[in-house]
Amino acid sequence: MPRFFVVLALLLGATLMTAPAPSPAAPPEKSAEDARLAKLFQTYLDEEFRLHPLFATQQGNHEYDDRLDDLAPAAREKDVDRAKSWLARLAKEIDVPKLSRDGQIDYEIWTHSLKYGLWSVVNDNRFEFDPRAYGEYISDSVFVLLTQSTLPRERNVENAAKRITHIPQVVAAAKASLKSPPKILTEITIKRNLGAISFYEKEIYALAGETVGTEPLATPCKAAVTALKDFQTWLEKELLPRSAGEWRLGKERFAKKLELELDAGLTADEVVRIAEAEAARVELEMYYVAKQLWSKLFPGTPLPPDDAAGRRATIKSVLDELGKDHGKPETLVADAKKTVDTIKTFIRDKKILTLPDPDQCKIIEMPEFQRGFSAAYLNPAPPLDPKADSLYAVAPPPKDWTPARQETFFREYNSAMLQILTIHEAYPGHYVQLAYSNRCPSLVRKVLWSGTFAEGWAVYTEQMMLDQGYGAGDLSLRLHQLKFYIRAVLNALLDNKMHTTDITDEEALKLLIDRGFQTEAEAVGKVARAKQSSTQLSTYFVGRTAFYRLRQSVQRKRGAAFDLGAFHEAVLSHGTLPVKYLPELVK
């Protein structure tokens, strides 16, 4: 389950006293068959860790930090055979009816992951069509050692030095495997590889706490730079000219992949139908908020007519004016940090849930070699090394952007939107949710976690926080929350249209700019992202819908006895599992 992406120095100021993390609820009674399943999964993991050292590191197992995966075609064929063997073994060795319900859910999650992986090899093989895949091993594999391992610094540096020696083999595997990838993926890889070269030439030493040009890093880094410069030439001169692959999945493959990715019991057509209705509803809500701000922002100017065009003009004009309140490239990380204390205080005072204590979330600037996909991400502490730091990475606009284009970026990620982004990525969004997930007793759910759950929770928290009073009724904050949410809704529509129809870039941009009120720079980036990925953009809306509906159902049944904080902690206590299981687990 490929969840190993993306970024973000200085521990967040822990000036707030947070309550100790709640003890997990007593686990349900386990059967002997549950124990057999858990033992089998541990055997499977041990095998996977030995063969896939980067996966081991990302999960917090540090036995193989000095090694890297064999990505050659023959090694990947053996991975396929092993996945098929494990499916057969599970069917033979596990008596599913004898499992507890929790055990059955773990069994279903594991077998689903194996089947999804096998489907992807045949229908969506990233090692053959996506040169970016090798960047995980070239750069991220070392970055994670130096930023998230809890081993002593000197040990991490030694492991990094040894791991770096394997980079030429990764480059060789890329050359042997990549056929005719989509042009946009090769172009992104060319930019990122330049960032990787710069990383190994100088940036790694500061990150590792070492003097530039000293051992044990100097010799392997020099060899890595030589290999990566050769790779750069190959990417530009050989791969790019033949990068004529189709990035669209097509209707049939997209529908099947979406079903596998979401694991939510919804078809592609159902997602589109629900998203279309929700987009219309949110547009109307945005208009009601914008109308209240109009006279304050444009005193004496008549409100546009109350028709479709006038309503959109009202929303756009108000957002354009509010967007002028923003930071600068050099202050983006500091600005993100400033939002944290206020948000955490509110969560504690309003009993939204119990915050993790100690706080292990760091806000960092996204490294160059990880940019080009999103403006921010949360890289959580590994499940097997939960005391490691979580990284909330934010990415300033690329340095080669013109001042005008940088301005549009900051009008999009203005002061209000930055607060919503921090709620989503950190508190009480991804960081808090995944910290809870790391306390779940199920190893299956810790390792094979659901992106639909994770993204859905993060989007759910944006509205929930404002509904509970965050921002004290600030209409600008509410309008930006709705803008951020309609982006999630439109992501699902864009995801589908980009991969199942012949929609043009111009039509896609119109969808995002006209209906989503996104700036041109943000919309251009999102269209590029839709070409670089498939189905992930749908997880935000589908997951949020599941959480919102569950909340409404539980609250109606509980009535006056409903406790919001208890509900949130109950939801998070079962791990990051497919959202289809939530109604039976959260009563």
CB distance 149 to 210 below 8 Å:
no
Q: What is the pTM of this model?
A: 0.90
Residue 337 buriedness (CB in 10 A; 0-12 / 13-18 / 19+)? middle
Distance CA 269, CA 530 (A): 18
| Cβ proximity of 318 and 291 under 8 Å | no
Contacts of 534 (CB under 8 A, 6+ apart): 124, 249, 254, 257, 495, 499
d(CA 188, CA 235): 11
Per-residue confidence (pLDDT) for residue 5, from 0 to 100 = 31
> CB–CB of 164/200 below 8 Å?
yes
**pLDDT (0 to 100) of residue 3:** 34
Domain span including residue 233: 32-99+125-248
Tokens of 257: 């992949």
Please report the pLDDT score of residue 2 as a whole number. Answer: 35
Distance (Å, whole) CA 205 – CA 213? 8
Q: What is the pLDDT of residues 228-285, one digit of tens each?
A: 999 999 999 999 999 999 999 999 999 999 999 999 999 999 999 999 999 999 999 9
Distances (CA, A) of 35 to 102, 106, 458: 12, 12, 33
8 Å CB contact between 493 and 507: no
C-alpha pair distances (Å), 344 with each of 8, 377, 414, 423, 428: 19, 19, 20, 9, 8
CA 544 – CA 168 distance, rounded (Å): 42
Do 173 and 152 form a contact (C-beta atoms < 8 A)? no
Residues 6 or more apart in contact with residue 277 via CB below 8 angstroms: none
Residue in 137, 192, 188, 569 with CA at minimum distance from that of residue 351: 569
The two tokens of residue 184 are 């946009």
**Strands, E assignment, 386-464:** 390-394
The full 3-state SS of 539-558, as one line of letters, equals: HHHHHHHHHHHHHHHHHHHH
Question: Do 372 and 190 form a contact (C-beta atoms < 8 A)?
Answer: no
> How many CB atoms are located within 10 Å of the residue 395 CB?
24
Question: CB 267: neighbour CB atoms within 10 A?
Answer: 12
DSSP secondary structure code for residue 76 in this structure? H
Q: What is the CA radius of gyration of the chain?
A: 24
For residue 282 the two structure tokens come to: 């949110």
Rounded to whole angstroms, the Cα distance separating 385 from 527 reads 36
Q: What is the pLDDT of residue 16?
A: 25
Q: How does pLDDT run along the chain (587 residues), one tens digit per residue?
A: 333 333 222 222 222 223 333 344 444 567 899 999 999 999 999 999 999 999 999 999 999 999 999 999 999 999 999 999 999 999 999 999 999 999 999 999 999 999 999 999 999 999 999 999 999 999 999 999 999 999 999 999 999 999 999 999 999 999 999 999 999 999 999 999 999 999 999 999 999 999 999 999 999 999 999 999 999 999 999 999 999 999 999 999 999 999 999 999 999 999 999 999 999 999 999 999 999 999 999 999 999 999 999 999 999 999 999 999 888 888 888 888 889 999 999 999 999 999 999 999 999 988 877 765 567 889 999 999 999 999 999 988 777 778 887 888 888 889 999 999 999 999 999 999 999 999 999 999 999 999 999 999 999 999 999 999 999 999 999 999 999 999 999 999 999 999 999 999 999 999 999 999 998 888 998 999 999 999 999 999 999 999 999 999 999 999 999 999 999 999 999 999 999 999 999 98
Confirm whether 150 is domain-assigned.
yes
Within-domain flag for 83: yes
Write out the H or E segment, with its range, that includes residue 362: strand 361-365
Cα separation of 242 and 545, whole Å? 41
Least Cα distance to 396 among 336, 339, 340, 342 occurs for 336
Check residue 11 and report its DSSP letter: B
Residue 89 inside a domain? The answer is: yes
* 329 lies in some domain: no
Cα separation, 519 vs 262, in Å, equals: 29
DSSP, residue by residue, 104-161:
HHHHHHHHHHHHHHHHHHHH--HHHH-TTHHHIIIIIHHHHHHHH--S-HHHHHHHHH
- Whether residue 211 lies inside any domain: the answer is yes
Total count of domains within the chain: 1
Q: Is residue 178 part of a domain?
A: yes
pLDDT of residue 25: 44
Asked whether residue 61 is domain-assigned, the answer is yes
Partners of 392 in the beta sheet?
363, 378
Q: Is 57 domain-assigned?
A: yes
The C-alpha atoms of residue 284 and residue 515 are separated, in whole angstroms, by: 11
Q: Answer yes or no: are the C-beta atoms of 572 and 437 closer than 8 Å.
A: yes
d(CA 389, CA 380) in angstroms, rounded, equals 7
Q: In what order do the strands lie in the sheet with 361-365?
A: 361-365, 390-394, 376-379
Helices and strands in the chain: count of H runs, count of E runs: 27, 3
